[in-house]
C-alpha cells in the first residue's frame, strides 16, 4: 500500500470519528430547543470537509515514537481537527468570507434563520462566533474523553494551552497587520503563529508527547513541522489567488477583499512600480471585485516576481522539512508517511 493510500484509509477513520462525535453533540444542542437545530447543523458544516492533515500529523507523531496503531489515539488526534474547524469559523468572520468549500460560510448561512430579525447580519455573525466557540470546547472534550490513559493525556495537556495561545496570537497579529506597510518577514511571522504551528508542529508534538517521545524526537518534530507548516500556508495563499475555485471552494475575490497581510502581497507591493502599487492599494480591501480586477492582481503578482519568490520560499521550507526528517530518530514507517505528508501539504492543488 502506498503512503497516499494509507493516508486515505486514515482519513476515513478520522472522518468516522468526527461524524459520530459531532452528530452526538449537535443533537444534544438541538434537544435544548427546536430553534437551535440550524445552529447545530453548522457544527456539521464546519467539520464535514477537510484534508485531515492535522489529525494525521498527530497520529504519526505517536507512531513515530514507536507506539502501535490505536483507536483511542485516533480519537485524540481528531480533537485537533475540531480546533481547526473552530479557527476556520472565526477566520471567516474576521475576513468577512462568504464561501468555504463552495458553500456559504457559517455567518452567511445563518442569516436565513433570522428573517424578520431586527439585525440579521449582526445576529448571524454572533451565532457563527458561538458555533466556533463551541467547536473549540468540543475539541477539549474529545481529547480528554478519547480513552487514552490519564497519564498519557497529562503529558500533552500543557501543549494544548500553548496551541490555543499561539493560534489566537497569530489571528491577532493578522488583524493588527492588515493595512500596514508591506513586510514579508512580518507576514511570515503571522502565518507561523496563525497556521504553521497548529497545523503541523503542535499536532506532531502532541502525538509525540502522548507517546512519551524523548526530547530529541520532539525537537526533530519541531524542526520538521515549523517550516512545513509555513510552506503549507504559503501554498494556501497562492491557491487563494490562483487556485481553481471549483477545487479550492473559495472565491479569490474574498481573499483580496480581506486584504490579508500575506507574503505574496507583501512581495507584490514591495516590488511593484508606483502605478502598480497604487492600483493594488485601490483593489485590496475592496468588496465585490469582478474577474477582470482579480486577474489584474494576478498579473501584478506575476510581473513583480512575487509568485516566484513565494514558490522559492515554499521549496526552501520543504527541503528544510525533509532534511530534518532524514536526521530524526523515528520509525521507518513514520518517516515514509511524514515524507509523503510533507509533499502533499506543500504541493497540493486545493
* pLDDT tens track for 208-239: 999 999 999 999 999 999 999 999 999 999 99
pLDDT on residue 145: 97
Cell of residue 335, nine digits: 518517516
Q: pLDDT band for position 244 (50/70/90)?
A: confident
pLDDT on residue 248: 78
pLDDT on residue 51: 92
Q: How far, in Å, CA of 350 to CA of 73, rounded?
A: 27
* pTM metric for this prediction: 0.95
pLDDT digits (tens, 9 = 90+) for 170-212: 999 999 998 888 899 999 999 999 999 999 999 999 999 999 9
Q: pLDDT band for position 251 (50/70/90)?
A: confident
| Eight-state DSSP code of residue 35 | G
For the cut 80, the answer to whether the pLDDT of residue 164 exceeds it is: yes
pLDDT on residue 170: 96
Number of Cα atoms under 13 Å in the Cβ half of residue 53: 24
Please choose, from the candidates 146, 125, 142, 132, the residue with its C-alpha nearest in 3D space to the C-alpha of residue 42. Answer: 132
pLDDT on residue 350: 74
Q: Is 157 exposed, middle or buried (0-12, 13-18, 19+ CB in 10 A)?
A: middle
pLDDT digits (tens, 9 = 90+) for 22-76: 999 999 999 999 999 999 999 999 999 899 999 999 999 999 999 999 999 999 9
Q: How far, in Å, CA of 80 to CA of 139, rounded?
A: 7
For the cut 80, the answer to whether the pLDDT of residue 311 exceeds it is: yes
State the residue for C-alpha cell 468572520.
93
Q: How far, in Å, CA of 254 to CA of 282, rounded?
A: 15
pLDDT on residue 258: 76
DSSP string, 302-332: HHTTHHHHHHHHHHHHHHHHHHHHHH----H
pLDDT on residue 246: 79
pLDDT on residue 127: 96
Please choose, from the candidates 48, 59, 51, the residue with its C-alpha nearest in 3D space to the C-alpha of residue 11. Answer: 51
Q: pLDDT band for position 348 (50/70/90)?
A: confident
Cβ atoms of 136 and 82 within 8 Å: the answer is yes
Domain ranges in the chain? 3-346
Q: What fold is seen in the domain 3-346?
A: Farnesyl Diphosphate Synthase (1.10.600)
Q: Is 35 exposed, middle or buried (0-12, 13-18, 19+ CB in 10 A)?
A: exposed
Rounded to the nearest integer, the mean pLDDT of the chain is 94
Q: How far, in Å, CA of 82 to CA of 88, rounded?
A: 10
Residues in the chain: 350
For the cut 90, the answer to whether the pLDDT of residue 313 exceeds it is: yes
Q: Give me the mean pLDDT over the 90-117 stretch.
A: 88
Amino acid at each position: 500500500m502506498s503512503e497516499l493510500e494509507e493516508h486515505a484509509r486514515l482519513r476515513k477513520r478520522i472522518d468516522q470519528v468526527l461524524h459520530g462525535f459531532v452528530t452526538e453533540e449537535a443533537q444534544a444542542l438541538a434537544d435544548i430547543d427546536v430553534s437551535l437545530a440550524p445552529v447545530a447543523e453548522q457544527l456539521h458544516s464546519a467539520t464535514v470537509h477537510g484534508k485531515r492533515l492535522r489529525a494525521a500529523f498527530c497520529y504519526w507523531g505517536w507512531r513515530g515514537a514507536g507506539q502501535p496503531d490505536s483507536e483511542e489515539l485516533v480519537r485524540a488526534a481528531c480533537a485537533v481537527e475540531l480546533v481547526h474547524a473552530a479557527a476556520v469559523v472565526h477566520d471567516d468572520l474576521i475576513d468577512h468570507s462568504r464561501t468555504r468549500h463552495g458553500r456559504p460560510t457559517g455567518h452567511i448561512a445563518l442569516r436565513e434563520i433570522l428573517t424578520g430579525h431586527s439585525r440579521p447580519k449582526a445576529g448571524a455573525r454572533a451565532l457563527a462566533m458561538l458555533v466556533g466557540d463551541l467547536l473549540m470546547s468540543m475539541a477539549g472534550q474529545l481529547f480528554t474523553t478519547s480513552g487514552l490513559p490519564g497519564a498519557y493525556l497529562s503529558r500533552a495537556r500543557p501543549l494544548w494551552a500553548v496551541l490555543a495561545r499561539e493560534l489566537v496570537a497569530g489571528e491577532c497579529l493578522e488583524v493588527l497587520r492588515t493595512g500596514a506597510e508591506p513586510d514579508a518577514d512580518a507576514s511570515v511571522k503571522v502565518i507561523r503563529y496563525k497556521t504553521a504551528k497548529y497545523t503541523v508542529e503542535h499536532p506532531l508534538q502532541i502525538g509525540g508527547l502522548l507517546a512519551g517521545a524523548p526530547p530529541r524526537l520532539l525537537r526533530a518534530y519541531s524542526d520538521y513541522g515549523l517550516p512545513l507548516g509555513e510552506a503549507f500556508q504559503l501554498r494556501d495563499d497562492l491557491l487563494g489567488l490562483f487556485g481553481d475555485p471549483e477545487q479550492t471552494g473559495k472565491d479569490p475575490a474574498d481573499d483580496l477583499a480581506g486584504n490579508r497581510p500575506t507574503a505574496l502581497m507583501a512581495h507584490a507591493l514591495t516590488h511593484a512600480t508606483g502605478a502598480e502599487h497604487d492600483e493594488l492599494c485601490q483593489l485590496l480591501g475592496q468588496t465585490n471585485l469582478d474577474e477582470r480586477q482579480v486577474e489584474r492582481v494576478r498579473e501584478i503578482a506575476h510581473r513583480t516576481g512575487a509568485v516566484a519568490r513565494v514558490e522559492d520560499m515554499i521549496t526552501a521550507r520543504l527541503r528544510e522539512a525533509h532534511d530534518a526528517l532524514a536526521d530524526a530518530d523515528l520509525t521507518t514507517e513514520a518517516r515514509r508517511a511524514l515524507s509523503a505528508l510533507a509533499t502533499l501539504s506543500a504541493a497540493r492543488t486545493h
